Chains A and B, each alone.
Chain A
Amino acid sequence: MGNRLLSILAVIAVAMAWPAHAMGQAARPDLSGLWSPVGTYSFDPSDPRGANAADLTKYPMTPWGLEKFKANKPAHGENQNTESNDPTNKCFPPGAPRSYVTPYPMEVIQTPTRLAMLFEYDVVYRIVYLDGRQHPEDMEPTWMGHSIGRWEGDTLVIHTTGFNGKSWLDRVGHPYSEELQLTERIRRVDKETLQVDITFHDPKTYTRDWTGQKIFRLRPTWELKEYVCEDNYTFDEFRSESGVKFVN
């Protein structure tokens, strides 16, 4: 009798859980996996080293934005500087969306209500809420911002706001402000390719919205490794030993 009661309860529990599970996941693509970015410097696949970073027709900067851009001295890409003031040199986090343009992979873990992006570079993460909530009002500005997502067919549309404006958008020095809003459209174009199309909206820094793209390749045999930025300070010793002046 006791066993039968347990069996009935178990059947009921499965029956209650199943519809939610099926509705939450079955109809949607799974973006989970370990993804490695293609190209490492900008959000323009046709200009991976940022040779056209100062092209105002591509990056329509306001006077305020242009002033910030000119003050930014990248350590990477076509216009790299020996004396760089890239915030990540001092181990400030890259934030979003720059975590996409490190040379290191990310692990995406998808559940019906969350999408987690775990970034190898500097061991940082991003959570995208898929449960229908809205952005909080009066957010504290942060490096990653606050992200909510919804599905449009096979595409996950993520909206992010609440940035602190302290990082760069990419590795070639494009600035942004606290007014930045990102709209990302993420799609698994085939089993091994993830495409992220981003619209940058930041009226303080750019005179109009502009778009960028990042492509990721699935690396099924890889595991995330650890990259702690502060370990880079071992390079201070290398610098002093070698006498070679690197970026600060």
Chain B
Amino acid sequence: MKSTWSVAAAVVVMAVAAVGIGEAHHGTAAYDTTTNVTVSGIVTEFRFVNPHVLVYWDVKDESGEVKRWSGERSGPNSMARNAGWNRNTIKPGDEVTITGRPAKNGTPTMAISKIVLNGKELTSGGDN
């Protein structure tokens, strides 16, 4: 667990064509929709809530410093209908590699488009 946990935060910034991003109660104006970031770490919390599900995960950089990332995905109702998600889909301790649109203001937050959970990509739930 520790060894996987210490996988360095692979922050890959790339210009990527549009990836579906949830948009329900608020828009995507807070995020930079021209780039994606990919960040790996260990889940600390998963909230299956409206308007969008929230994921929190700890990311360790090369110097060993831990940074807490957070991100939002689509709404829980559409995630449940379209992808079978529920409140237990992601658990604290899970290893994740998460891709999304980064916050424009540089804080470690993103609008999530893809989650690889314990080595397996989670099915998307659409953009609601």
B88 at interface by CB-CB < 8 Å: no
List the A side residues contacting B66 at CB < 8 Å: none
> Known: A225-B77, A235-B51, A238-B72. Is A80-B28 also a contact (CB below 8 A)?
yes
List the B side residues contacting A229 at CB < 8 Å: 25, 50
Q: Is the CB of B105 within 8 A of A103?
A: no
Q: Is the CB of B107 within 8 A of A244?
A: yes
Question: Smallest Cβ distance from B87 to chain A, in angstroms?
Answer: 13
The main secondary structure of chain A at its interface with chain B is loop
Size category, A interface: 20 to 34
> Known: A89-B26, A235-B25. Is A243-B109 also a contact (CB below 8 A)?
yes
- Residue of chain B at shortest CB distance from A238: B54
How many chain B residues touch the partner (CB < 8 A)?
Answer: 29
A216 to B76, CA, bound (A): 21
Pick from B30, B80, B107: contact of A225, CB below 8 A.
Answer: B80
Q: Which B residues form the contact surface with A (CB < 8 A)? A: 23-30, 47, 49-52, 54, 70, 72, 75-78, 80-81, 103, 105, 107-109, 127-128
Q: Which A residues form the contact surface with B (CB < 8 A)? A: 40, 74-77, 80-82, 84, 88-89, 103-104, 120, 222, 225-229, 231-232, 234-235, 238, 241-247
**Apart from the given pairs A75-B25, A231-B49, A246-B30, 16 other A-B contacts in the complex at a CB distance below 8 Å:** A40-B128, A75-B26, A76-B27, A77-B27, A81-B27, A103-B75, A103-B128, A104-B75, A104-B77, A225-B77, A234-B49, A234-B54, A235-B26, A235-B51, A243-B103, A243-B107
